[in-house]
Structure 1
Amino acid sequence: MAQTRMGDVGWFARFPSSRMTKWFVVGFWLVVLAAAFGPAGKLQGVLNNEAVAWLPANAQSTQVVKQIEAFQSKNEFPAVIVYERAAGLTAADTQAVTAQVAKFDALAPVKNDSVGPIPSKDGKAIQVIVPVDAGDAGWDSLGATVKDLRTIAQDRPDGLSMQVTGPVGFSADSSEAFSGIDGKLLYSAMTVVIIILLLTYRSPVLWLIPVVSAGTALFVAQAVIYFLAKDDTLTVNAQSSGILTVIVFGAGTDYALLLVARYREELRRHEDRHEAMAFALHRAGPAILASGATVIAGMLCLLVATMNSTKGLGPVAAIGVAVGLLVMLTLLPALLVVCGRWIFWPVRPSYGSVDHTRDGVWARIGARIARAPRRTWVVTSLLLAVASLGIFQLNAVGLQNKDAFYGTPESVVGEQVLARHFPAGAGSPVLVLTNAGQAAAVRTTLQGVEGVSSVGDPVTKGGRSLIQATLSDAPDSDAATKSVDRIRVAIAGVPGADAIAGGDTATRADTLRASADDNLRIIPLILGVVLLILVLLLRAITAPLILIGTVVLSFGAALGLSSLIFRNVLGFAGADSSLPLFVFVFLVALGIDYNIFLMTRVHEEAKEIGTRRGALVGLAATGGVITSAGLVLAGTFAVLGTLPVVSFAEIGIAVALGVLLDTLVVRSVLVTALNLDAKGRMWWPSALSRRDAALDAAEPASPGEAAEEGTPALEPAR
């Protein structure tokens, strides 16, 4: 068999693993980490959670936010305070609420007068609409204002209930739910990673090296992103910041697992640990680089999204993965060779010792698949296809406010009280901007639109007029969204009005449309990019097409099973409109990693012993490490469920389930069976496809078959 000589190992593999330069690598990252620590801690301070940072840039709702500054601050949002007495309001109730309005107006964030008290027609409730200016701090400052409103409202007659709802109330509850998100996710992800690494390595100390490396990558990535966000080069919000933590820890630890596994394998073949690491980097480096490049390319595809929140996530995640990739290919190997073989204690891979993966559980699984590979991949594909049918249970049209959180926060209770006593759209009107000369005609048109409960008088400034229309349906309902569509059609028909409609309900409508457009645009683009990377990596066409097909099938099964879990087990009312795209991006970009890890090893072995035997050797050699990597990634995404936000929980559950399917079913069973059935045709049209038949016929029994028959196993190609 062909042997790789030390002279064939490139400088990139030798640099972090040599006796002298390993110290330079460690010192370099210590300096970088020290410089990054401060800026990384400031990232939360530059998050942009304003509505414009999430909305489609060209949507009418976005244009309204930009143009409304002539009438009010773009950061002004209504807090709806609703009081209720089931037996009917008393004179003392009305007097107490009236007195509180003056105190609301005295608060620093309240720049304009409150509206109210407004009694309900049934005499059982009162509402006050307080305009709160969040200022440059955005929604994070609204929580403190809501606390002040609640404190003032505590001074009221016994038996009179009170809740703060409306946009400010929901924003405050959301802010509380996301409070400390980075810390929660970091510690949860670290716990999951440490537990899995302890079980994988069965060493009390080895887990420290990957965790320290992943932590370094996270802090450095956060620092880089902080500087870009500070200069407005990059828009970062709470969503992308939270996902950054998960993806850096998950993907980074995956790369660490693959490299450590190959290093341990080479330690049994090389007496010098520095030489062993150089060979490990030489052999595993291309697969790790290809995997990282796939994730980075997939994330950068999000730049073509129309949703600003989706577009911003792309470069944030790409930077995180790029930094993680660099750390795992330089700092991690340097730390491992600095520590020496003792880091694997109590099971040190000594020179010349036997590698039991060649005849372990994955070798036996491969042998069983080899008995009937075609039947195996056909049955597996059918089962995954059946699981995909659950997608029809997915209601990804956005979550109403009442369904967005675990439990029932105060803002949801307040919305329910409002719906009992007032028009459902009260406190969250549709905002219509029009030319002043046509304001009267637009107002008349609005009054005739189905679903509009009432229309306010126009307020005119600088040639433009603002008209507020209250809807008869809840502002976050599908019925209200349809009413906004009717409003836009109606006002577009007023000659010379140049009218646009915005507000919370309009934002929901624009978000749903933009998400649907992004799905159609981005999903095919990601598939094309990943396919191109696989073609370049494997120098073939058949294998990349098959691998893409398996990942798409895995995505469908994961989303289908998740949909059933959401509806029938967890009782979620629906899903966020961005869920299918996010799950697809993470599963295709990250899930393809496991196919890359496996197929690069199969490709390496196929050159020496043929595809059939190479498939079994590849599965035996990578089965354990890929399973561990899948558990790490699934576990880190599952920690998103620790947040009391349904949309995050759904992303975490769906991605975690998809990663487990990729790891345990698609890669180990489906892809292996396809390799065994297709044999050399997997590498068409490369020269390897033509050599495969001769290689397959010339070699002795495969490792899996040897394990079944009790004969000596064939050593994998070196």
Structure 2
Amino acid sequence: MDQQVSEKKGLAKLVGGTYSRWITLGIWISLVVILNAVFPQGNSQTNENAQNLADSLPSVQAEQIAKQEFPSESGVPALIVLHREKGMTDGDVQIVQQLTAAFTQEPLPNQSLIVPLHELPLPAVKGQLSEDGSTFVLPIFFNKEADVDQLKESMDQFQERVDQITNADLFAADVDSSEELSARITGPVGIQIDATGLFSDADVSLLIATVILVLVFLLLIYRSPILALIPLVAVGFAYGVISPLLGWMAREEWIVVDSQGLSIMTVLLFGAGTDYCLFLIARFRQLLMVESSKTKALFQAVTGSTGAIAMSGFTVVISLLALLLADYGGLNRFAIPFSLSILIMMIASITLVPAMLAIIGRTSFFPFVPRTLEMRRERAQRKGKPEPKPQKPNRFGVMIGNWITQKPWTVILATIVLLGSFAAFSPQVKYTFDTLSSFPEDVPSREGFQLIGEHFSQGELAPAKVIVDTEGKDLPLQEKLGELEKVAKVLEPKSGQNNPDIVSAEVEFTLNPYGNEAMDFIPLLMEETRKILQDAGIADADSKVWIAGQTAEQYDTRETTDADAKRIIPVVIIMIALLLLLYLRSFIAMLYLMGTVLLSYFSALGLGWIVIHYFMGADAIQGFIPLYAFVFLVALGEDYNIFMVSSIWKKRKQMPLKQAIREGVAETGSVITSAGLILAGTFAVLATLPIQVLVHFGLITAIGVLLDTFIVRPFLVPAITSVLGSLAFWPGKHREVETATEQGATTHL
């Protein structure tokens, strides 16, 4: 322990000494300048087309077979939905023919196929209208190798040329208008473009909103413009290091980054980063009230808080690194950017922030500069003012601390009942992997999808492709599959280009192909197809049936992420438990700290569902959210527990345990409350975005942080510690101190 204290003092002098403070600042400035000059920015290396599913999964294998055997059909479709509410006219249908003629003669970049409707007579084309005659769907296929940026460029050109051909802006027309002909782009291409655009637009607005929120919170809490800027400057320096490092690793293809990951990383960086800065700043401010030397106060602050900050940071880093165990690419590729951002931010909070505080000193808190009682007396005498009174303790914190130690069982039962009542709703949460449900209702691809669902069959948007190895036998695929309850239509089977025994039949569902019901139907469709092969005497039918398409991909996504959650959650729990055990050296404390955070997580999930479902009207949340929320909430929740419990652990060596609990709660109360509000606020910023998956994730995470901040940390954890007494330190030993020593005196925040 003495060696650890000595190392911390060495760190304090290394970053906050007379000369070393400037060296530390210079090193950070040099790092930012050099890295940004040499490496590209992370957001310039995003890959929105990165594969999420492993090559061994059925839907991926099916796509590979489709690409090999049915190359003319393997393009990605953009569905152009043309609609006139009172019914499309002959002139409207002729516009469709003009479009197919124009894009057949001069194809779009990466266009692989467009149906030549201009070669058909007008009545034949009109026969493809919806039953009410109001809607027409024109498919345009693009090469599968095209990325999102290329597809967007193609569709931008498409819209420009359509405007020129029609002398009207069909894509801005109201779909509900009975007078205007409207057009919307949907299907896999439209959905992909809109998803990328929403996340790209969210990145800038999210950054601005997060910076403003953190700045406002810091100004309200500390009422010091200089101090409010210090954490933001530290986060800015950290981001200046992180972004080029991510850009470099992405350029070298060591990692993959996407817009969604960078957006969430920004929130995490500002929220958690500000927390780490506040832990140190609050301790520095506290010590300035009892220590006249700003240098000594800073050294003591760094020495006293570095351990808790480092432990908190490593807890989050290890939790996020556990995402490397995920097989689903969308989870796996978050691990390095998220963990690296927290690691660098933690380093900045214990090096750069102390250096800035050492340079600015007490002026950091201007105009409410913290001073010792003697300094305030001298100041009052110089100005002829009355003698100042001693600094009063945090009355509210003291009151909570007294209540907890006097009636711990009441506190425990009340908080468990409250949290348990919220957690009881967590099994009721419904999940979806429907990308469209995350879009605002006025996004073009969602509007187009809704028109298809209302006027055609929703299954036309994304049919499943059933592929079988017939071994040369004539199979009744179209007839048998068409008899299934949830199948609207089965197109005529086609033979493979290289192997005629490979046959493909497109199956259109009667329901939303992106919904849970369609995904649940995939195993039945697979089983029924295998049965057709078995009835025909084909051996080993299990290995001769494949299903491609969006629905099959979503089914594999659900199965993969469910397996990831079952693997990652236990690893996160075990790793955090081991870190707590090493830091606190108490098996009992580790158990109840982990237990309270897990209770808080399920409470956040349940309360989040109450808000999202019963108040916001959502039918389901994205299936990725529970695992995301778990990793963040368990790791970040332990941050606050570590900071508060470490205070109690230190104080109990100089005072009775119950007094240590009272003072630990009072001392850490305001800084953890401030940090919790800022962290919850940054995640809540996600709720202002037009993307439902981020809205739901932000709300649940913000709720979890608030539950940790205002219930678990100030009430439940110290109450359990009070009830357990010396047992809380087992197998370590606790020697009860009868009276507080002089070293145990403290100044409350």
TM-score (norm 1): 0.91
- State the distance in 1 between where 2:653 and 2:595 align: 24
Q: Where does residue 112 of structure 1 map in the other structure? A: 112
Aligned pairs for 1:83-232 within 5 A: 83-105=82-104, 106-115=106-115, 117=117, 119-120=128-129, 122=131, 124=133, 125-133=135-143, 135-136=145-146, 138-154=147-163, 155-156=165-166, 159-232=180-253
Shift in Å, 1:476: 1.1
Q: Choose which of 459, 462, 466 in structure 1 pairs with 2:498.
A: 462
Q: Choose which of 374, 388, 398 in structure 1 pairs with 2:433.
A: 398
Question: Which one-letter code corresponds to 1:384 in the other structure?
Answer: L
Structure 1 unaligned blocks of 5 or more = 704-712
- State the distance in 2 between where 1:269 and 1:3 align: 24
- State the distance in 2 between where 1:573 and 1:167 align: 23
Shift in Å, 1:334: 0.6
- State the distance in 2 between where 1:56 and 1:620 align: 51
- State the distance in 2 between where 1:699 and 1:349 align: 25
Shift in Å, 1:653: 0.6
- State the distance in 2 between where 1:181 and 1:57 align: 31
User: CA separation of 1:130/1:670 partners in 2, compared to 1, >3 Å: closer, same or farther?
Assistant: same
- The secondary structure found in structure 2 opposite 1:469 is strand
- State the distance in 2 between where 1:310 and 1:356 align: 49
- The secondary structure found in structure 2 opposite 1:206 is helix
The answer to whether residue 91 in structure 2 is matched with residue 45 in structure 1 is no
Is residue 17–residue 275 contact of structure 1 (8 Å, CA) maintained in 2? no
Is residue 443–residue 455 contact of structure 1 (8 Å, CA) maintained in 2? no
- State the distance in 2 between where 1:86 and 1:208 align: 55
- State the distance in 1 between where 2:38 and 2:203 align: 14
- State the distance in 2 between where 1:434 and 1:272 align: 80
Q: Where does residue 458 of structure 2 map in the other structure? A: 424
- State the distance in 2 between where 1:501 and 1:682 align: 56
Q: Choose which of 373, 383, 393 in structure 1 pairs with 2:418.
A: 383
- State the distance in 1 between where 2:139 and 2:564 align: 36
- The secondary structure found in structure 2 opposite 1:179 is helix
Shift in Å, 1:360: 3.2
Q: Where does residue 61 of structure 2 map in the other structure? A: 63
- State the distance in 2 between where 1:64 and 1:661 align: 46
- Write the deviation string for residues 543-593 of structure 1: whole angstroms up to 9, x where unpaired: 111111111111111111110110121122210001111111111011110
- Write the deviation string for residues 123-156 of structure 1: whole angstroms up to 9, x where unpaired: 61322110133755x2244334333333444455
Q: Where does residue 378 of structure 2 map in the other structure? A: none
Q: Where does residue 30 of structure 2 map in the other structure? A: 31
Q: Choose which of 634, 638, 648 in structure 2 pairs with 1:592.
A: 638
- Decide which moves more: 7-16 or 315-324: 7-16
Is residue 66–residue 74 contact of structure 1 (8 Å, CA) maintained in 2? no
User: CA separation of 1:123/1:440 partners in 2, compared to 1, >3 Å: closer, same or farther?
Assistant: farther
User: CA separation of 1:116/1:357 partners in 2, compared to 1, >3 Å: closer, same or farther?
Assistant: farther
Q: Sequence identity, in percent?
A: 29
Is residue 130–residue 136 contact of structure 2 (8 Å, CA) maintained in 1? no
User: CA separation of 1:39/1:143 partners in 2, compared to 1, >3 Å: closer, same or farther?
Assistant: farther
- State the distance in 1 between where 2:15 and 2:32 align: 17
Question: Which one-letter code corresponds to 1:455 in the other structure?
Answer: L
Shift in Å, 1:660: 0.8
- The secondary structure found in structure 2 opposite 1:82 is strand
Shift in Å, 1:459: 4.9
Is residue 358–residue 715 contact of structure 1 (8 Å, CA) maintained in 2? no
Question: Which one-letter code corresponds to 2:280 in the other structure?
Answer: L
- State the distance in 2 between where 1:358 and 1:5 align: 30
Q: Where does residue 514 of structure 2 map in the other structure? A: 476
User: CA separation of 1:632/1:439 partners in 2, compared to 1, >3 Å: closer, same or farther?
Assistant: farther
- Decide which moves more: 415-424 or 664-673: 415-424
Is residue 434–residue 498 contact of structure 1 (8 Å, CA) maintained in 2? yes
- State the distance in 2 between where 1:98 and 1:336 align: 70
Shift in Å, 1:61: 2.3
User: CA separation of 1:108/1:42 partners in 2, compared to 1, >3 Å: closer, same or farther?
Assistant: farther
Is residue 109–residue 133 contact of structure 1 (8 Å, CA) maintained in 2? no
Is residue 78–residue 130 contact of structure 1 (8 Å, CA) maintained in 2? yes
- Write the deviation string for residues 422-455 of structure 1: whole angstroms up to 9, x where unpaired: 3321142213444474585484564555433112
- State the distance in 2 between where 1:536 and 1:12 align: 21
User: CA separation of 1:331/1:492 partners in 2, compared to 1, >3 Å: closer, same or farther?
Assistant: farther
Shift in Å, 1:13: 2.7
Q: Where does residue 707 of structure 1 map in the other structure? A: none
Shift in Å, 1:84: 3.0
Q: Where does residue 500 of structure 1 map in the other structure? A: 546
Shift in Å, 1:116: 6.2
- The secondary structure found in structure 2 opposite 1:461 is coil
Q: Where does residue 525 of structure 2 map in the other structure? A: 487
Q: Where does residue 654 of structure 1 map in the other structure? A: 700
Q: Where does residue 708 of structure 1 map in the other structure? A: none
Shift in Å, 1:23: 1.3
- Write the deviation string for residues 142-176 of structure 1: whole angstroms up to 9, x where unpaired: 33433333344445596433222111222222223
Shift in Å, 1:107: 3.7
Question: Which one-letter code corresponds to 2:57 in the other structure?
Answer: A
User: CA separation of 1:394/1:454 partners in 2, compared to 1, >3 Å: closer, same or farther?
Assistant: same
Q: Where does residue 717 of structure 2 map in the other structure? A: 671
User: CA separation of 1:99/1:386 partners in 2, compared to 1, >3 Å: closer, same or farther?
Assistant: same
- Write the deviation string for residues 249-297 of structure 1: whole angstroms up to 9, x where unpaired: 1111100000011112233344332332222111100100110010011
Q: Where does residue 587 of structure 2 map in the other structure? A: 541
How many residue pairs get aligned? The number is 698
User: CA separation of 1:613/1:252 partners in 2, compared to 1, >3 Å: closer, same or farther?
Assistant: same
- State the distance in 1 between where 2:454 and 2:472 align: 35
Is residue 399–residue 574 contact of structure 1 (8 Å, CA) maintained in 2? no
- Decide which moves more: 525-534 or 253-262: 525-534
Is residue 405–residue 661 contact of structure 2 (8 Å, CA) maintained in 1? no
- Write the deviation string for residues 338-379 of structure 1: whole angstroms up to 9, x where unpaired: 112112112222245698474432112212222211111111
Question: Which one-letter code corresponds to 1:150 in the other structure?
Answer: Q
Question: Which one-letter code corresponds to 1:46 in the other structure?
Answer: Q
Is residue 605–residue 716 contact of structure 1 (8 Å, CA) maintained in 2? no
- State the distance in 2 between where 1:637 and 1:6 align: 35
TM-score (norm 2): 0.87
Question: Which one-letter code corresponds to 1:48 in the other structure?
Answer: N
Is residue 543–residue 683 contact of structure 1 (8 Å, CA) maintained in 2? yes
Question: Which one-letter code corresponds to 1:409 in the other structure?
Answer: V
The answer to whether residue 300 in structure 2 is matched with residue 254 in structure 1 is no
Shift in Å, 1:55: 3.1
Q: Choose which of 324, 333, 341 in structure 2 pairs with 1:303.
A: 324
- Write the deviation string for residues 220-252 of structure 1: whole angstroms up to 9, x where unpaired: 112111111111111222221111111111111
- The secondary structure found in structure 2 opposite 1:212 is helix
- Write the deviation string for residues 449-490 of structure 1: whole angstroms up to 9, x where unpaired: 543311243252333555433223221123322332222223
User: CA separation of 1:55/1:74 partners in 2, compared to 1, >3 Å: closer, same or farther?
Assistant: farther
- State the distance in 2 between where 1:9 and 1:289 align: 11
Question: Which one-letter code corresponds to 2:658 in the other structure?
Answer: R
Is residue 433–residue 516 contact of structure 2 (8 Å, CA) maintained in 1? no
Shift in Å, 1:110: 4.2
User: CA separation of 1:9/1:580 partners in 2, compared to 1, >3 Å: closer, same or farther?
Assistant: closer
Is residue 108–residue 154 contact of structure 2 (8 Å, CA) maintained in 1? no
- Decide which moves more: 612-621 or 647-656: 612-621
- The secondary structure found in structure 1 opposite 2:622 is coil
Is residue 113–residue 142 contact of structure 2 (8 Å, CA) maintained in 1? no
Question: Which one-letter code corresponds to 2:418 in the other structure?
Answer: L
- State the distance in 1 between where 2:160 and 2:435 align: 28
Shift in Å, 1:629: 0.5
Is residue 373–residue 390 contact of structure 2 (8 Å, CA) maintained in 1? no
